[in-house]
Amino acid sequence: MRKVVAVPLGVVGLGLTGLGYASIVERNWFRLRRFDVPVLEPGRRPVKILQISDLHLTPGRTRLINWVRSLSRLEPDLVVNTGDTISHPDAIPAYLRAVEPFLDLPGLFVYGSNDMYSPHFKNPARYLWRTSKTDSKKRNIPDLPWLELGTAMTSAGWLDMNNTTARLKVGDLDVAVGGINDSHIDLDRYDRIAGAAPAEADLRLGVMHSPEPRNMTRFAADGYQLLLAGHTHGGQLCIPFYGALVTNCGIDRARVKGLSHHDSAWLHVSAGLGTSPFAPARFACPPEATLLTLVPRVAR
Ligand SMILES: [Fe+2]
């Protein structure tokens, strides 16, 4: 074969191989990440929080559904779903099948924009120069069954944490929770939960979909000790040894996923478990759920 033909064919072949890997292999290569978070008073028994996020479920994702079910072996004390759960109007039964082993446990959830608005095809490269915030703003009427999704969870006893506060028992911990709806589509109303979180609680937990710094600063200032978010997909298509190109919100690239800090609070951002059905690929950023084990602070 002449060199002038072989080189372009080689590039095309490499591209197709990469696309196949990202959409078939890595997209289904679910990982469990584990972090210890030293946030409890000395002497307290460790407590396990399972965070799931960004499932973007469609009815046929059997591997994902079964993998989430398998996490029941971790025996978490609390399950937190940080939103973008469904991507299809008929996905609620699939979601309930995924979380069925956890519905008897304490649970919390917030919505993400994708729970309200069905996915549309978009140029994936647009994230390089802007976030998807304006895409959702153009749409006024939710076309996904977000209320039914919420009711399915609240009727099992999970708490709807969209722009509200709550108090619950997790193991032997008294937990104060503050949550907000998705800032990505301007549904966050931090003013409704503003004020010092109860100082006497054993844990003050903040929950949101998009890790927007202006909200996280307020959570931390109000005394919330651990903040949980999703939304970023960890960058979704990442560069090996470099990381995410974009975060799709105001947070910096260094904190696009994993455990970090925001002011005085611990922050965990989940890279999530799914993708938009119109961008079904992950590269150097496997889908994940996280087990956060809360442990006592080291006594000084
Ligand atoms: Fe998402």
User: pLDDT digit string (tens) for 114-125?
Assistant: 999 999 876 656
Domains of the chain, start order: 2-296 (3.60.21.10)
Please tell me the distance between residue 41's alpha carbon and the centre of ligand 1 in angstroms.
Answer: 34
What is the distance between the alpha carbons of residues 258 and 279, in angstroms, rounded to a whole number?
A: 22
Give every residue of the chain whose pLDDT is below 70, as ranges.
1-3, 7, 122-131, 133-138, 300
The pTM assigned to this predicted structure is 0.92
Amino acid sitting at position 78: L
Please tell me the distance between residue 233's alpha carbon and the centre of ligand 1 in angstroms.
Answer: 6
Could you please report the per-residue DSSP string of the chain? --HHHHHHHHHHHHHHHHHHIIIIIGGG--EEEEEEEEEEPTTPPPEEEEEE----B-TT-HHHHHHHHHGGGG--SEEEE-S--BSSTT-HHHHHHHHGGGTTS-EEE---GGGTS------GGGGGTS-SHHHHHT--S--S-HHHHHHHHHTTT-EE-TTEEEEEEETTEEEEEEE---GGGT---GGGT-SPPPTTSSEEEEE-SS--HHHHHHHHHTT--EEEE--SGGGSB-BTTTB-S--SSSS-GGGSSEEEEETTEEEEE---S---TTS---BSS--EEEEEEEEEPPP-
Please tell me the distance between residue 232's alpha carbon and the centre of ligand 1 in angstroms.
Answer: 7
Please tell me the distance between residue 148's alpha carbon and the centre of ligand 1 in angstroms.
Answer: 19
Please tell me the distance between residue 39's alpha carbon and the centre of ligand 1 in angstroms.
Answer: 27
Please tell me the distance between residue 124's alpha carbon and the centre of ligand 1 in angstroms.
Answer: 14
Please give the pLDDT value at position 129.
Answer: 62
Please tell me the distance between residue 204's alpha carbon and the centre of ligand 1 in angstroms.
Answer: 25
| Pick from 40, 166, 148: nearest CA to 93 | 148
Please tell me the distance between residue 283's alpha carbon and the centre of ligand 1 in angstroms.
Answer: 15
Please tell me the distance between residue 182's alpha carbon and the centre of ligand 1 in angstroms.
Answer: 11
Please tell me the distance between residue 25's alpha carbon and the centre of ligand 1 in angstroms.
Answer: 19
Please tell me the distance between residue 209's alpha carbon and the centre of ligand 1 in angstroms.
Answer: 9
Please tell me the distance between residue 122's alpha carbon and the centre of ligand 1 in angstroms.
Answer: 14
Please tell me the distance between residue 114's alpha carbon and the centre of ligand 1 in angstroms.
Answer: 7
Q: Two tokens at 48?
A: 């396990």
Please tell me the distance between residue 290's alpha carbon and the centre of ligand 1 in angstroms.
Answer: 16
Please tell me the distance between residue 46's alpha carbon and the centre of ligand 1 in angstroms.
Answer: 30
